[in-house]
């Protein structure tokens, strides 16, 4: 005959799942030197356009902290001179780079310069002082194009099945 075990209380199991480590997919954006120049130009523009400053948790601020200040962030890192960001912030970086490109093309557009025969070069027409230097703006444009290419390569594309 089998004896029935005497159970005074039921066991308690911990059913909460263990926290998973945060998975980060790193995307190489480009040279840290080139992106640092882009962030310097972006911060110079932000000083003149205070009403358009992004929130404090923006990827642009993380880039400024890492590249210009030397701080550590979970969204940005520099490995062997190449800048890598978390894939989840790639769209925000592209949007900030597009905004800067729009600003640069407006500030240094063809409508603001005219050819001067005496100088032998284009001179600025308007009396206002530009916020960014024309040479810096020209150096930043390939970096912005590179960010656009990286963003386009890392986009998830959905196809409708027919």
Q: Can you tell me the distance from the alpha carbon of 33 to that of 104, in angstroms, rounded to the nearest whole number?
A: 19
**pLDDT at position 101, please?**
92
131 contact partners, CB below 8 Å, separation of at least 6: 44, 45, 47, 48, 107
Q: How far is CA 111 from CA 74, 105, 122, 142, in A?
A: 42, 10, 11, 22
Where exactly are the structural domains of the chain?
A: 26-127+134-153
**pLDDT at position 3, please?**
73
- Residue stretches of the chain with pLDDT short of 50: none
Q: Can you tell me the distance from the alpha carbon of 149 to that of 145, in angstroms, rounded to the nearest whole number?
A: 6
* pTM listed for this prediction: 0.73
């Amino acid at each position: 005959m089998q004896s029935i075990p005497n159970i005074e209380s039921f066991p308690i199991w911990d059913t909460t799942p263990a926290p998973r480590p945060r998975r980060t997919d790193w995307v190489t954006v480009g040279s840290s030197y080139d992106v640092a120049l882009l962030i310097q130009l972006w911060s110079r523009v932000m000083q003149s356009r205070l009403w358009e400053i992004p929130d404090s948790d923006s990827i642009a601020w993380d880039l400024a902290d890492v590249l210009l200040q030397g701080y550590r962030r979970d969204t940005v890192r520099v490995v062997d001179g190449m800048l890598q960001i978390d894939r989840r912030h790639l769209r925000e970086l592209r949007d900030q780079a597009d905004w800067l490109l729009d600003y640069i093309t407006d500030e240094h557009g063809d409508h603001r310069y005219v050819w001067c025969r005496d100088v032998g070069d284009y001179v600025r027409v308007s009396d206002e002082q530009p916020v960014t230097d024309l040479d810096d703006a020209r150096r930043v444009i390939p970096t912005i194009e590179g960010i656009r290419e990286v963003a386009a390569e890392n986009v998830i594309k959905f196809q409708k099945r027919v």
